[in-house]
Structure 1
Amino acid sequence: MKAKICGMNTLEELNIALGAGCDAIGFLVGITHLAEDKVSVPKARELIRSIPPFVTRVAVTHLQTAPDIIPMLEELAVDTVQLHNDILLEEIRKIRETLPYLKIVKSVSVTGTEAIAYAERFVGEVDGIILDSRTADRLGGTGLTHDWSISRRIVEELPLPVILAGGLTPDNLEAAINAVHPYAVDVNSGVETDQKKDPEKVRKFIEIAHQY
């Protein structure tokens, strides 16, 4: 199973994730809600240039309009965009039309069973769904898990790769994978100590994911 490490903003943390064998790296750019790990576009671009081939580069953004998002993605030269917001389908289609090579992942906040119908709206429009937890002031990075039984239903019912996020740690990852059976897993604060990526936690998280 693939593992993404999100919230990179220093070369030191990037090298921790790369050294541990991560499959994808996420950068929080164009952020409108609370996120301690957000990074400027110039800084993210600098870090992205240090990523070797075959590791997926992901821009995670809260922006909601194609004219705001497309120039940023072009400057960053990423492989994938993670739309972590309530962006409209027509805006996603504009991004697809302008950047047809780009993989698009749409976030779904699992706050209840209504998340299933919401996720279904994006079938045929995006390349994957990421299931996350949210609070009033955070769209992700909450450190909170959600109802994995709902996530499991989304995995079973959608003909799309589903990535599991939300409160994952090396300690609960195995249980989460067995409960949900996602395509991949994603972590940010769950592998941090004092708001910094912890080499041992990152290594353990990726090691567990790669066992599946």
Structure 2
Amino acid sequence: MNKTGIKICGLQSVEVLKSMVNLPVDYIGFVFADSKRRIDGVQAGKLLRVLDEWTSGSRPRSVGVFVNPGDALLNDVMEKAPLDVIQLHGQESPQRCREIREHFGIQVFKAWSVDSQGRTERSADELDAYVGIIDALLLDTYDPLYGGGSGKTFAWDRIPAYQAWTHQHRIPLFVAGGLNADNAEKLVHEYHPEGLDVSSGVETNGVKDIAKITAFVERVKQA
């Protein structure tokens, strides 16, 4: 069984990022959409330089989170902060995902929203059009304002249906939404996703907390 990868999302602080240097984190996420965690390309560039100085083995991959981004925003960010992955949280069509993937030559992760009752913003049948285009599917809790980052969990019993689809098409499945050190271990044991994506669950008063990040990473890796 493959180990579950860890993505810490919504990084803003160079100091916090430096404090994570010895943790086995696989992805670092930067938010470029409307959010209290939003940063710009210049800030992301500074954070990427810290990642490039990472010394404990291979560095985590950098992920930019966007919601229905226009070309101007994408070009500006990628010029100032050449990301490894673009993560799309809006209503981006398969064609749009393909355009972005081919233009920048990097991986594209697509978020798919599920609410607390298991309802989705769009039909699961629409996923088939993304086969061969997206490099990972991310299940997140539906948030009508920001498209994600709600800090709430969705109906986990919907995971197996999506997991069957991702396994069929050999696409990694990431899970986000309301994760923290207390529930991450249960999620890994019961569903074995390829990745977990956490943001607010490792914060204290809206600020990334290295103690919570460490606890989250340890729980997931132990599981």
Q: Structure 2-normalised TM-score?
A: 0.86
Q: 1:109 aligns with which of 104, 107, 113?
A: 113
Change (3 A) 1:48 1:115: farther
CA RMSD, 1 decimal: 1.8
Q: 1:190 aligns with which of 191, 201, 204?
A: 201
The offset of 1:119, in angstroms, is: 3.4
The offset of 1:83, in angstroms, is: 0.9
Aligned residues: 208
Q: 2:211 aligns with which of 188, 200, 207?
A: 200
Residues 64-143 of structure 1 correspond to what in structure 2 (within 5 A)? 64-66=69-71, 68-100=73-105, 102-111=106-115, 112=119, 116-143=124-151
Q: Percent identity?
A: 29
Residue pair 2:14, 2:46 contacting (<8 A) in 1 also: no
Distance 2:160 2:18 in 1: 32
The offset of 1:70, in angstroms, is: 3.8
Q: 1:168 aligns with which of 172, 175, 179?
A: 179
Gaps of 5+ in 1: none
The offset of 1:124, in angstroms, is: 1.1
Q: Structure 1-normalised TM-score?
A: 0.90
Q: Which structure 1 residue ranges, 4+ long, deviate > 6 Å from structure 2?
A: none
Residue pair 1:48, 1:76 contacting (<8 A) in 2 also: yes
Distance 2:200 2:126 in 1: 26
Matching of residue 58 in structure 1 with residue 79 in structure 2: no
Distance 1:123 1:164 in 2: 18
Q: Where does residue 48 of structure 1 map in the other structure?
A: 48
**Residue type matched to 1:104 in 2?**
V
